[in-house]
Structure formats: C-alpha cells, structure tokens
C-alpha cells in the first residue's frame, strides 16, 4: 500500500487524508503529484472518469478540503445553463477563502465576461500565489451548453493567465466529449470500480457505535454475498446495509444468539435480504415502508409493490381503440384485408409472407399508422356501429397524453396524423380480457 | 367550461323573450322567471351535494397523504444523530398518486389536495403541469414563481422584500430557492411568538416544500431526472416532497426514470377511489333519492352513463351532462314550474295560469288519465281550471310518494339481484334502475330468470338479504312500509323456527351419508337412481315452501311499486326525456355534420331549391358542395384536370344551356377561379392534400363514398 507522501503538505494532513479515502490511495497520490506545490502551476485541465460511485466526487472533495486548497465545486446538472454555471463559479469564488462573506449579485452572460470577472475575483481574493481548482461535476452536461464552453474551460489557465486548474468529473469517457473542432486535450485519469474487497473494507469502516467492528464486518460480508451480483453502487449498498442492520441484530438483542454466532445470524438475515433485493432495491416499496414493516414484524408480502398495480382501467371504446392501434402497429398493411374483411377472397398461400416479414413483428417494434387505418380497424373489431363522434377522436388524443399511443411526425396534424402504439402485448392481453 | 355558462345564456334569452312577448303572455313570462329561479336553486343544491360527495370520497386519500407528508420529514428532524440516519442515503419522499385515466377530473382532486395541504401541512405547495415545463429551466422558473408567490400570501406585510427579489430577476437555481426558504422559515420563526395569526403556528418550524407533478406521463424523462437529481443533492437544506399524479399505472415511474434516479426517491403509493365507484355514489346520492324533485328519464340516463362508460370515465362530465339536462328541462318544459319540492307544490299549482292548465291538459299522460275517468269527471277536468288544479296537486303528491317507495323497493330488489350468479339484472343498482324505468321489469326475461335463481338461494343468504331489506325499509321515513317490514320480520322468525326444528330432526341419517359408505359401483348407481326418484316425488320441504313464499312476496312488492315512471300521470313534469337533445349536445359528430353540410346543403341552409333527388348534383349548390360531391366519386388520387372539367360541366349545365355553342374546350376563367377556391377550402377542411406521387393529382384523405 503506497503511503501518501508529498513534500508540500504536512504529514499529519496526509495521514488523515489517507484514512478518509480508503482504496483510492494510488489515485490520490497521482493527483497530488500532478497538483504539485501550492504555488506551482498545475496541468490546465484534468479529466477524471469512472463508473457511478467510484468515488470521484468524494475523493476530489475530501482531497481539496483536507489539504485546504482553494477550490470551487460546481455540479453541472444543477446549474443547467452556461450563465448559471459561470455565475455560480464566480459566487463561490467570492466567498472562497473565508467562506462566510455574503456574495453580491453577479451578472455574467458570456465567457468573455467570465474571464474578466474571474481575473478580478482572483485579484481581490489574493489567490494569485496558489493554484485555484475548479471542479465541474457531471461534466457531460457541458456538452449541451454553448459550443465554446467546454473548450474554454479546458484552457482556462491560458485564457485567464492565472494559476487555475479545471477538473472535470464524468461517468463517460473523454472520447465522447471531444468536440469536432478540436480542443486542448486534458490529462485523463480513470477511477476503476471498487472490487468486492474494497467494498467490504469501505462499508465495514463505518460500524455503529453499539456493536463491534467485527460483528458489522460479518454482516457486510453477508450483505455483499447477496447484493454484489446485482449492485455495486456504494451509496446504494450502504443504504441497504443501514436499512437491514436492525433485522440482523434482532437475535442478538433478544438474546438468542451472541455476536459470534454467525451461522445463526446468517440464517436469520439471508431470506430477509433476498426479499429486500426484490422489493426495496428495485424501489417497489419504499425504504420507509420497509422499515415500518420490519418494525412491526409483518411479512412484506402484504404490501404490494409498484409493479403489482399494472392494471389500467379504460373506457370501453378506449380499449378497442388501443387494441386497434396495436393491430395497426404490428400487422402489415397487406394483411388488413385478410383479417378484417368478411369476404376477403382467396388467399394465395404461396409467397404470402415476404422474406423479411418472417422475423417476428414484435422484435421489430411498432410501426406508424395513419388515423384512418386505425378507425377502419376499430369499426371492424367493434360489433355494433360506432358513430365517429368527437368523443372517439378526443379519446385518441387522451391515449396519446397517457403515453399509450405516441404521435409520429408532429407537423402533419391537419393532413393525416400518424400514430404508434407504445404498449406491450401483455398490456393488450390484459385489457382485451 | 362551456356548460358553466349555460344558465347565464339562458337568462339572456329569457330576458329577450320577456321583452318580446310581454304583452300577449305576461303570465307565461312570469313562469319563465320562476322556472329560471327554480332551476338555479335546484342546480345549486345539486352542486353543493356533489361537492360534498367528492369531498367525502377523497377524504380517505387526502388523510393518508397528509399523514404521509407529516411523517416524511419529521424523521429527519428528530434523530439526525443516530447511526442509521447518518448511514442511510437520504431519499426524497415521494407520493405516487394513482388517479385513474379520467384526466379531466384530476384538477378538482389536486385543487382539494393543495387546499388541504395548505391548511394542514405547509404553505409551500407548487403545482406543475407538463405543458409548462418543456425544459428544466422552465420547470424551475415555474416552481420558484409559485413558491415565492405563496410566500406573499402568507406574509403579506413583507411585500417590499418580495418585490425586491422579483426585481432582481432571480436566478432560477436551487441555491436561490434554498436561500429563499431559509429566509422565509427564519422569518416565521421570529414572528410566531408575537403574531396572533395562527396560520404559521399551524405549520411546523420548517414546513416541507411540496411539489406536485400533475400529469406525470406527459413530463419528459430528462426534465424529471434532472429535477430529481438536483433536488436530491439539496434535500438536507430544503425539505422537499414530491407528489406524482399518475393516470395509468405506477409502472410509469420505472419507465420514465432509470434505476439510478428512482433510487433517489422513497416512493409510496396512494390510490384514489375508482371512477366507476365514484359514479355509483353520485347516482346513488343524486338520482336514487327523493331529495331532488328533478328526475332523469331512462333514455337520458342511459345516454349519460354510456358516455361515461364508453368514452371518458369522467365524473365531472357526467355531472355537467346532468346539469345540461336540468337546464334543458326547465327551459323547454313550461310545466317545469311544478318541478319543485313538495312543500311548494300547492302554492305553485294554484297560481297556474289558464294557459298552463291547458298545457297540463295537453300532456299525453294526463290525457290517458282523463280517459280512464268517468264522463262527469272528465268534463270537469277538461273545463274547470280550479278542479284541475286540485287534481293536479293530488297527482303530484302521488308522484312524490311513488318516488319514495320506488327507491326503497328498488334497493331491496337490488339486494337480491346483486348476489345472484351471473347478475341477470345487472350488478350495479344503476342498471337495475334503468331496467325498471324502461318498462315493466316483471315482464322481462331477465327478471324471470333472476326469480328462478332467487328460488334456489340457500338459507343463510336469504336470511341476510331479508335482514338487509328490513334495514332499508326501516330507514325510510314514511309509514308506507310498516306492514311490509312486519311481513319480512315474520319471514325471518319463521326461518329461525325452521332452523330449530331442523336441528332436532338432524339425528336421522341422511341418504347422502349412506351413499358415502358404498364403494361398489353397481350399488352406487342404484342408490343414486333411488335418490333421484325420491327427490322427484318428494314433497317440498318446509324451507322450500317458505323460500317460495318469500320470493313471491318480493315479486308482489316489485309489481306494486316498481311501475315504470312513464306510466305515471304527470310524469312529464319531473322526468326529463329529451335523450336526442342531450345526445346531440354531448356527443358531437363533426365528421358526420361536415358530411351532411357538404353532401346535402339544404339541411343547414334550409333552402328547398337545393334539395336534390338521388345522387344528382344540383348546380345551385355552393361550389364547395359540388366539388365535394364530385370528389366522392374518385379513388385515392384525384386528377385535378378531370375534376375541373366535371365541375365546369355541372356549373355550366344551367347557366349556358342556351349559349351551348359558344362553349369551347377552354374553361371560363371565373369558373376556374371558383374551382381553385373550392378545392383549397376542401384542403383546409382536411379532405384532400397535395400529392407528390403524381403530378397534377391530389390525394384523398377520407375513404369510401360515406
């Protein structure tokens, strides 16, 4: 295990930092060596990517705060326009070292303004002599803003002529960022997924004060045994661990087993965890409901999950409209005559199906159809006569708002709107009953 | 919305009418005034009643929601120090509110919900609609706008502050929302001790911010995801609660949100009353009661129910249809003045004018009644107004009593029919009601078969049903059913006695028990045959006799009380039967109307000259009609040149018959222009569109010569 060492920072801080970022020591030491000493210019932009909850945000945040480096931390999802983003950076910058100072309203519409204001802010905060770090979390959002934002951030050091380093955090690789016009290539760095051993180590670190670390580690071991196959998200696992720990402790609390009785405890918790995997993990039932169930000692079977309520009650003609839409979406037009006409004449058996039609239509997905075809099929599948009243037409629209149908090609409303049926065969079966 | 204004338009029409006809029929105009007032007061009663019903139906749901909301953030306030809370990921509490597919009714529910929330939980409620939020930016703007405005409502004294904020063109970001929230809660904290207004003390120190997504289905995935991700990062500073209004099924949450986002939510499911149940309650409370004098005829009720079941599932629309019926009835039926509560009838009857008396005499049901009377009374009824009034009052009172009895007995019958297998008379009481209104229910096959089935009921069922009937009849105020109740109770005691008797006799071994002993196939067959024989010849048991008696008694009740309303005298006064009018108003048929207008213009233009015999095309018809008729004869693609020629032939047929020789191949410019205009009108109406498949052709968008 490499110990963190850097001449510029006090050893105590580094040791503390090492304790805070388990299993990420190598990345941290790499970052530290890139950062260099406080006053040294660093690489203009660093791109860090890795899977969900591989500790990118957490490591950056702890690193910058423990070492008390001046930094600005912005989430690009939250500041969804370039203006908001730039203003937020400036606001944070104003209150950067002291942290308490009330920010005055900033107006910054373009990057040009930003560079100017940024220089002012750096000057006023007396940050010239140390590197300022701007961390942009969820940087993939930058691609949706104006085209100049991303390239400008990558070479902000050059543009502002100040000691600044921009760090981009993202879940996707750099190749998907690179603009067509080319840009400054940042230093890319990969945060690998935590292995099961890492997860075990990290999760066991925060054991509850009432119980020993070993006891909790054994619990985490069992938990990972159940959930590791489906979930490697650290946040989610920690959440699940907290939710189910009470149940694990139950035999100990009741005095039926002691803390070392792992087998007994395992027997107690394992089916419970499996149930949790099917319900809470999928958010079929909420965690608060789960806790209440646990508390009351009820069977979770009584509480129906979200997907248990699949049935949708529809008016009579809406059902037929939906079925007609389904038929129109999945049957080729040529077969309409055969299926929906009483005297359709003889069918030539040979070559009836063209070659490409032999693949199941369900694999190909729904095809768009015209309104008239939908109505024609509707008239033929409903037994009694249907008057083409406004009610029928408004039902089609309401099916569209319910997302059971979708309109294809928005602009053609007046001439002949085309629709697609978006529901599954199971759904159609359920309403056809 | 259009129905809401109906009474006012009527008022205008009424005033016009009174102004015009003031001289000749001053009495009648007085009646119209009275009719209008009666109609209004009746509607107001019904409206408040329906609102009450809705409130009661939603009460359970709202209570659940309120308790959920009050629970949602209380956890965090109490035990933030505990280990589990520290470890647990803090999710956004979310209520998934499944409301059914009748989206039009949701508004009312949401309004009720936000009122309740503002009263009990928090002043900060924002209602978001998908159409206002195409992007996250718009969503934030809308959200902040609503929240900050509601702040003004509460602390109206702090106007300056708010104005200042709005002048600043607030940055629509979460951080400004949080700072706003901080300032607001701090302010109320400092104020509560001094202020006597209890609005702020009703809420807690940091009330949650409730965001309601009215139509979850229509929101785009991106917007929802972004919003949830953003707010989950600030859940510590801003106690947010989301409410998703869902029309289809909760599965839509999983379809719209990926797991990484839905794992940020703590979703609980709430379901509203199904709309069918809602309708049943409405019908039960509005129609099957003698509280309101106005009644719906069978056909009208059927139309309204059909629109509900077949088309929209919307209770609001049903109520609006009902309102239309009321207005239409009071507007079209001059005698509807008498459609009032029992207490007012006497006064109103005696103030009737001579014309109105004549109106009564003209009623078909009244004429039938007159014909049945002896000749002396007939003359009196037809000539003497005051005698007629006396008689009318009596008849109306009879009608009122009939209603009361009808409803009670209908409910009793429903107790029986609703538990029969396959429900020959329908499962819901509304179906039974329609059947009874339509014609004599005891003459129908369904009734016959349900009696048959009722004769096979077992004892426990029968007894419970009888008990229910007794309860229903006891609840009625009148003394009409005292004897019936007695009779039913007698039946019950007889059943009781029977039970005791049978317990004594139970010692004897039943043939079935013997049967179980036999294992030999031959013997089994033999005994079975014997059993069958004995059963056929066997006399009816006491229980069976009693059962027959009960069913016959119920049958007699039905025959006596469930006479269809249109066989009662003067039913026209309280029953509205204009089914065709209602249908015409409520289920518009734009295509059919358009076709009629274009195909037979005389229908709307009321011009006899335009009537054409058979399939011929009159040249006097408007150009667009001619063009339309010609296009009906074409296939999918229409050649414009041929069409033009046909058009000019039709148009020229009369105009230039004499100057036939002058016509050449060249089409007149004026006719050409007329044709072009008619074709473009047709295009605007959506019958044709230009086609790229062939030059000089247009494509038809409708099919058939319909």
Tokens of A248: 């694990």
In the block, residue with structure tokens 């518009």: B588
Q: CB burial class (10 A; 0-12, 13-18, 19+) of residue B179?
A: middle
Average pLDDT, chain B: 79
- What does the pLDDT average to over B565-582? 86
Q: Are A190 and A49 in contact (CB under 8 A)?
A: yes
Tokens of A236: 């989610």
CA distance A167 to B422: 71
The whole-number pLDDT of residue A312 equals: 82
Model confidence pLDDT, tens digit, residues B79-116: 545 666 666 677 888 888 888 888 778 888 888 888 88
Query: CATH: 1.10.357.10, 3.40.50.300, 3.40.50.720, 2.60.40.1120. Which one for B55-76+88-151+206-273?
Result: 3.40.50.300
Closest-CA residue of chain B to A401? B218
CA distance B453 to B630: 60
Return the percentage of chain A with pLDDT > 90, whole number.
7
DSSP class of residue B308 equals I
Model confidence pLDDT, tens digit, residues B624-633: 888 988 888 8
CA distance B529 to B440: 43
Task: Please give the ipTM for the structure prediction.
Answer: 0.88
Model confidence pLDDT, tens digit, residues A221-243: 888 888 888 888 888 888 888 88
Common-topology check for domains A11-190 and A316-342+362-432: no
In the block, residue with structure tokens 């009424």: B14
| CB–CB contact B590 A390 (8 Å) | yes
Model confidence pLDDT, tens digit, residues A250-295: 888 887 777 777 788 888 888 888 888 877 777 777 777 777 777 7
| CB–CB contact A388 B592 (8 Å) | yes
Instruction: Report the top-level CATH class of A316-342+362-432.
Output: mainly alpha
Q: Which of A81, A238, A286 sits opposite B267 (nearest CB)?
A: A286
Question: Is the Cβ of A26 closer than 8 Å to some Cβ of chain B?
Answer: no
The whole-number pLDDT of residue A277 equals: 81
Chain B residues close to A238, C-beta within 8 Å:
87-89
The whole-number pLDDT of residue B153 equals: 52
A8 to each of A72, A128, A173, B403, how far by Cα in Å?
21, 18, 31, 96
For residue B691, count other CB atoms closer than 10 A to its CB: 15
Model confidence pLDDT, tens digit, residues B636-675: 888 898 899 888 888 887 665 555 545 555 678 888 899 9
The whole-number pLDDT of residue B494 equals: 84
| CB–CB contact B703 A376 (8 Å) | yes
For residue B340, count other CB atoms closer than 10 A to its CB: 21
| CB–CB contact A288 B588 (8 Å) | no
Residue A188, H or E segment: strand A187-191
Q: Which of B88, B215, B226 sits opposite A80 (nearest CB)?
A: B226
For residue B157, count other CB atoms closer than 10 A to its CB: 10
Mutant choice from A105, A223, A306 vs B, greatest count of B C-beta within 10 A: A306
- What does the pLDDT average to over A360-387? 83
For A3, phi then psi, to 5°, come to: -80, 145
Model confidence pLDDT, tens digit, residues A79-110: 888 888 888 888 888 876 554 445 566 788 88
Question: Is the Cβ of B221 closer than 8 Å to some Cβ of chain A?
Answer: no
Closest approach of B392 to chain A, Cα-based (Å): 42
Which residue in A63, A52, A75 sits closest to A24, CA to CA?
Answer: A63
Q: Are B409 and B557 in contact (CB under 8 A)?
A: yes
Q: Which of A78, A206, A389 sits opposite B173 (nearest CB)?
A: A78
- What does the pLDDT average to over B170-180? 78
Instruction: Report the top-level CATH class of A11-190.
Output: alpha beta
Closest approach of A14 to chain B, Cα-based (Å): 25
Return the percentage of chain A with pLDDT > 70, whole number.
89
Query: How far is it between the farthest Cα atoms of chain B?
Result: 114
| CB–CB contact B71 A316 (8 Å) | no
| CB–CB contact B248 A287 (8 Å) | no
The whole-number pLDDT of residue B321 equals: 92
Q: Bridge-partner residues for B268, per DSSP? A: B95
Q: Are B657 and B669 in contact (CB under 8 A)?
A: no
Q: Which of A315, A372, A401 sits opposite B310 (nearest CB)?
A: A315
Q: Which of A75, A209, A390 sits opposite B233 (nearest CB)?
A: A75
B70 to each of A47, B62, B74, B240, how far by Cα in Å?
44, 12, 7, 12
Between B24 and A180, whose confidence is greater?
A180
> Is residue B382 pLDDT above 50, yes or no?
yes
> Is residue B25 pLDDT above 60, yes or no?
no
The whole-number pLDDT of residue A270 equals: 84
- Would you kindly state where each structural domain of chain B is located, as residue ranges? 55-76+88-151+206-273, 278-500+540-576, 590-655+666-700
Which residue in B253, B257, B389, B319 sits closest to B49, CA to CA?
Answer: B319
- Would you kindly state where each structural domain of chain A is located, as residue ranges? 11-190, 196-308, 316-342+362-432
Which residue in A145, A144, A142 sits closest to A45, CA to CA?
Answer: A142
The whole-number pLDDT of residue B17 equals: 45
CA distance B650 to B646: 6
Count Cβ neighbours within 10 Å for each residue of B276-309 and write b for 16 or more, e otherwise. Answer: eebbebbbbbbbbebebbbbbbbbbbbbbbebbe
Chain B residues close to A403, C-beta within 8 Å:
217-218, 248, 252
> Is residue A48 pLDDT above 90, yes or no?
yes
| CB–CB contact A403 B252 (8 Å) | yes
Beta strand spans in A118-182 (E):
132-137, 164-170
Question: Is the Cβ of A365 closer than 8 Å to some Cβ of chain B?
Answer: no
Q: Are A112 and A83 in contact (CB under 8 A)?
A: no
The whole-number pLDDT of residue B162 equals: 44
Closest-CA residue of chain A to B75? A288
**Most confident residue range from A2-11, A206-215, B254-263, B494-503:** B254-263
Q: Which of residues 103-162 of A touch B (CB under 8 A)?
A: 105
CA distance B239 to B231: 9
Closest approach of A9 to chain B, Cα-based (Å): 31
Mutant choice from B64, B83, B257, B320 vs A, greatest count of A C-beta within 10 A: B83
Question: Who's near B405: CB < 8 A, 6+ residues apart?
Answer: B478, B480, B481, B561
Closest-CA residue of chain B to A399? B101
- What does the pLDDT average to over B540-565? 84
Q: Are A391 and B312 in contact (CB under 8 A)?
A: yes
Question: Is the Cβ of B184 closer than 8 Å to some Cβ of chain A?
Answer: no
Question: Is the Cβ of B455 closer than 8 Å to some Cβ of chain A?
Answer: no
Question: Is the Cβ of B233 closer than 8 Å to some Cβ of chain A?
Answer: yes
The whole-number pLDDT of residue B194 equals: 38
Closest approach of B84 to chain A, Cα-based (Å): 5
Closest approach of B531 to chain A, Cα-based (Å): 42
Q: Give the 3-state secondary structure of residue A52.
A: coil
Question: Is the Cβ of A78 closer than 8 Å to some Cβ of chain B?
Answer: yes
Between A98 and B214, whose confidence is greater?
B214
In the block, residue with structure tokens 């039943």: B510
> Is residue B522 pLDDT above 60, yes or no?
yes
Chain A residues close to B307, C-beta within 8 Å:
391
The whole-number pLDDT of residue A359 equals: 66
Tokens of A34: 């890139």
The whole-number pLDDT of residue B192 equals: 44
CA distance A169 to A71: 14
For residue B147, count other CB atoms closer than 10 A to its CB: 20
Model confidence pLDDT, tens digit, residues A147-199: 888 889 998 888 888 888 999 999 999 988 888 888 889 999 999 888 888 88
Which residue in B121, B140, B88 sits closest to A239, CA to CA?
Answer: B88
DSSP H helices, A348-408, are: 361-364, 371-381, 390-401
Tokens of B6: 């109906």
Question: Who's near A85: CB < 8 A, 6+ residues apart?
Answer: A74, A76, A79, A145, A149
Question: Is the Cβ of A426 closer than 8 Å to some Cβ of chain B?
Answer: no
The whole-number pLDDT of residue A325 equals: 92
Model confidence pLDDT, tens digit, residues B249-273: 888 888 888 888 888 888 888 888 8
- What does the pLDDT average to over B172-181? 82
Return the percentage of chain B with pLDDT > 70, whole number.
80
> Is residue A358 pLDDT above 80, yes or no?
no
| CB–CB contact B88 A242 (8 Å) | yes
- What does the pLDDT average to over B186-205? 50
Q: For strands A187-191 and A45-50, give the pairing.
A: parallel
For B694, phi then psi, to 5°, come to: -135, 145
Q: Are A179 and A147 in contact (CB under 8 A)?
A: yes
Q: For strands A369-370 and A418-421, give the pairing.
A: antiparallel
> Is residue A330 pLDDT above 80, yes or no?
yes
In this prediction the pTM is 0.81
- What does the pLDDT average to over A23-32? 87
Question: Who's near B630: CB < 8 A, 6+ residues apart?
Answer: B617, B643, B646, B647, B650
In the block, residue with structure tokens 């009902």: B322
Residue B199, H or E segment: helix B199-202
Closest approach of A405 to chain B, Cα-based (Å): 12
The whole-number pLDDT of residue A90 equals: 87
The whole-number pLDDT of residue B19 equals: 38
Mutant choice from B261, B311, B586 vs A, greatest count of A C-beta within 10 A: B311
Q: Give the 3-state secondary structure of residue B88.
A: coil
CA distance B419 to B140: 54
Residue B4's pLDDT band, with cuts at 50, 70 and 90, is: very low
> Please, what is the angle between helix B459-475 and helix B482-505, to 10°?
160
Q: For strands B92-98 and B240-246, give the pairing.
A: parallel
Which residue in B124, B435, B176, B163 sits closest to B299, CA to CA?
Answer: B435
At CA B559, angle to CA B557 and CA B560, rounded to 5? 65
Question: Is the Cβ of A360 closer than 8 Å to some Cβ of chain B?
Answer: no
| CB–CB contact A391 B307 (8 Å) | yes
| CB–CB contact B311 A392 (8 Å) | yes
Q: Which of B84, B218, B312 sits opposite A315 (nearest CB)?
A: B312
Question: Who's near B638: CB < 8 A, 6+ residues apart?
Answer: B631, B688, B697, B698, B699, B700
Chain A residues close to B703, C-beta within 8 Å:
372, 376
Q: Bridge-partner residues for A418, per DSSP? A: A370, A408
Mutant choice from A102, A315, A369, A383 vs B, greatest count of B C-beta within 10 A: A315
Q: In what order do the strands lie in the sheet with B697-700?
A: B637-639, B697-700, B688-690
For A276, phi then psi, to 5°, come to: -60, -35
Q: Which of B75, B136, B262 sits opposite A80 (nearest CB)?
A: B136
Return the percentage of chain B with pLDDT > 90, whole number.
5
In the block, residue with structure tokens 């909790």: A216
Chain A residues close to B215, C-beta within 8 Å:
401
Closest approach of A370 to chain B, Cα-based (Å): 10
Q: Which of residues 366-395 of A touch B (CB under 8 A)?
A: 372, 376, 387-395
């Amino acid at each position: 295990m490499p110990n963190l060492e850097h001449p510029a920072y006090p050893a105590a801080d580094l040791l503390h930092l090492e304790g805070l970022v388990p299993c990420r020591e190598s990345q941290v030491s790499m970052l530290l060596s890139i950062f260099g000493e406080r006053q040294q210019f660093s690489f203009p932009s660093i791109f860090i990517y890795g899977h969900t909850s591989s500790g990118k945000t957490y490591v950056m945040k702890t690193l910058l705060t423990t070492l008390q480096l001046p930094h600005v931390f912005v989430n690009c999802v939250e500041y969804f326009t370039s203006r908001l983003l730039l203003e937020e950076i400036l606001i944070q910058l104003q209150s950067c070292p002291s942290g308490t100072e009330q920010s005055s309203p900033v107006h910054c519409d373009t990057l040009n303004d930003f560079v100017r204001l940024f220089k002012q802010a750096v000057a006023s905060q007396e940050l010239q002599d140390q590197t300022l770090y701007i961390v942009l979390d969820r940087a993939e959002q930058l691609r949706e803003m104006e085209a100049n934002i991303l390239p400008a951030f990558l070479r902000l050091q050059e543009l502002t002529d100040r000691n600044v380093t921009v760090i981009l955090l993202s879940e996707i690789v750099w190749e998907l960022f690179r603009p067509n016009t080319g840009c400054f290539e940042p230093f890319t760095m990969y945060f690998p997924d935590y292995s099961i051993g890492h997860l075990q180590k990290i999760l066991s670190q925060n054991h509850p004060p009432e119980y020993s670390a070993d006891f909790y580690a054994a619990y985490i071991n069992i938990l990972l045994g159940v959930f590791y196959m489906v979930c490697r998200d650290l946040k989610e696992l920690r959440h699940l661990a907290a939710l189910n720990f009470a149940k694990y402790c139950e035999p100990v609390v009741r005095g039926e087993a002691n803390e070392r009785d792992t087998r007994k405890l395992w027997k107690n918790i394992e089916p419970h965890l499996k149930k949790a995997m099917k319900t809470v993990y999928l958010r079929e039932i909420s965690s608060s409901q789960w806790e209440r169930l646990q508390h009351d000692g009820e069977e979770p079977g009584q509480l129906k999950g979200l997907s248990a309520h699949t049935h949708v009650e529809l008016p009579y003609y809406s059902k037929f409209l939906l079925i007609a839409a389904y038929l129109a979406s999945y049957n080729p037009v040529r077969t309409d005559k055969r299926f929906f006409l009483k005297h359709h004449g003889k069918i030539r058996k040979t070559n009836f199906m063209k070659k490409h039609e032999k693949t199941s239509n369900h694999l190909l997905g729904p095809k768009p159809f015209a309104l008239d075809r939908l109505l024609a099929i509707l008239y033929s599948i409903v037994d009694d006569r249907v008057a083409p009243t406004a009610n029928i037409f408004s039902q089609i629209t309401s099916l569209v708002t319910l997302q059971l149908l979708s309109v294809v090609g928005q602009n053609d409303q007046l001439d002949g709107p085309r629709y697609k049926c978006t529901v599954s065969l199971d759904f159609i079966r359920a309403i056809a009953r | 919305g259009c129905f809401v204004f109906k009474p006012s338009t009527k008022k205008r029409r009424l005033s016009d009418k009174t102004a015009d006809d003031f001289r000749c029929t001053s009495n009648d105009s007085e009646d119209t005034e009275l009719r209008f007032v009666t109609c209004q007061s009746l509607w107001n009663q019904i409206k408040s009643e329906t609102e009450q019903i809705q409130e009661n139906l939603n009460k359970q749901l709202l209570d659940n929601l309120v308790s959920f909301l009050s629970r949602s953030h209380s956890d965090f306030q109490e035990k933030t120090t505990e280990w589990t809370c520290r470890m647990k990921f803090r999710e956004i509490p979310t209520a998934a509110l499944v409301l059914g597919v009748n989206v039009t009714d949701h508004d009312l529910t949401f309004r009720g919900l936000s009122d309740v929330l503002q009263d009990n939980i928090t002043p900060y409620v924002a209602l978001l609609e998908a159409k206002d939020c195409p992007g996250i930016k718009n969503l934030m703007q809308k959200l902040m706008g609503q929240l900050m405005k509601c702040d003004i409502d509460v602390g109206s004294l702090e106007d300056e502050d708010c104005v200042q904020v709005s002048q600043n063109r607030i940055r629509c970001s979460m951080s400004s929302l949080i700072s706003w929230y901080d300032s607001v809660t701090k302010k109320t904290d400092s104020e509560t001790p001094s202020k006597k207004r209890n609005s702020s003390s009703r809420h807690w120190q940091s009330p949650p911010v409730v965001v309601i997504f009215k139509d979850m289905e229509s929101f785009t995935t991106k917007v929802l995801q972004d919003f949830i991700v953003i707010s989950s990062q600030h859940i510590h500073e801003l106690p947010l609660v989301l409410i998703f209004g869902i029309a289809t099924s909760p599965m839509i949450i999983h379809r719209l949100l990926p797991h990484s986002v839905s794992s940020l939510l703590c979703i609980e499911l709430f379901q509203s009353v199904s709309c069918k149940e809602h309708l049943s309650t409405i019908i039960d409370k509005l129609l099957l009661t003698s509280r309101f004098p106005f009644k719906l005829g069978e056909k009208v009720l059927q139309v309204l129910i059909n629109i509900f079941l077949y088309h929209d599932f919307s209770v609001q629309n049903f109520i609006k249809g009902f309102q239309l019926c009321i207005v239409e009835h009071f507007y079209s039926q001059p005698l509807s003045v008498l459609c009032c509560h029992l207490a007012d009838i006497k006064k109103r009857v005696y103030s009737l004018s001579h014309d109105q008396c004549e109106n009564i005499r003209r009623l078909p049901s009244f004429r039938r009644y007159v014909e049945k009377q002896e000749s002396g009374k007939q003359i009196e009824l037809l000539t003497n107004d005051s005698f007629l009034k006396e008689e009318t009052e009596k008849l109306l009172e009879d009608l009122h009593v009939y209603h009361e009895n009808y409803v009670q007995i209908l409910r009793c019958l429903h107790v029986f029919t609703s538990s029969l297998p396959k429900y020959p008379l329908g499962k819901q009481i509304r179906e039974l009601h329609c059947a009874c209104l339509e014609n004599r229910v005891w003459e129908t096959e369904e009734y016959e078969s349900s009696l048959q089935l009722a004769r096979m009921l077992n004892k426990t069922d029968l007894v419970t049903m009888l008990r229910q009937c007794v309860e229903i009849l006891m609840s009625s105020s009148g003394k009409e059913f005292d004897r019936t109740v007695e009779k039913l109770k007698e039946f019950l005691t007889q059943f009781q006695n029977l039970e005791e008797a049978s317990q004594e006799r139970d010692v004897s071994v039943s043939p079935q028990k013997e049967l179980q002993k036999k294992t030999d196939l031959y013997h089994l067959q033999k005994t079975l045959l014997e059993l069958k024989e004995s059963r056929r010849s066997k006399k009816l048991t006491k229980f069976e006799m009693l059962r027959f008696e009960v069913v016959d008694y119920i049958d007699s009740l039905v025959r006596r009380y469930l006479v269809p309303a249109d066989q009662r005298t003067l039913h026209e006064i309280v029953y509205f039967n204009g089914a065709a009018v209602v249908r015409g108003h409520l289920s518009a048929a734009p295509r059919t109307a358009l076709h009629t207008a274009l195909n037979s213009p005389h229908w709307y233009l009321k011009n006899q000259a335009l009537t054409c015999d058979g399939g011929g095309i009159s040249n006097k018809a408007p150009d667009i009609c001619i063009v339309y008729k010609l296009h009906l004869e074409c296939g999918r693609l229409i050649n414009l040149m041929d069409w033009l020629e046909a058009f000019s032939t039709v148009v020229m047929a009369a105009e230039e018959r004499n100057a036939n020789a002058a016509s050449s191949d060249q089409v007149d410019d004026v006719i050409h222009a007329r044709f072009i205009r008619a074709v473009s009108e047709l295009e605007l109406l959506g019958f044709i569109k230009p086609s790229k498949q062939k030059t000089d052709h247009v494509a038809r968008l409708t099919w058939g010569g319909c």
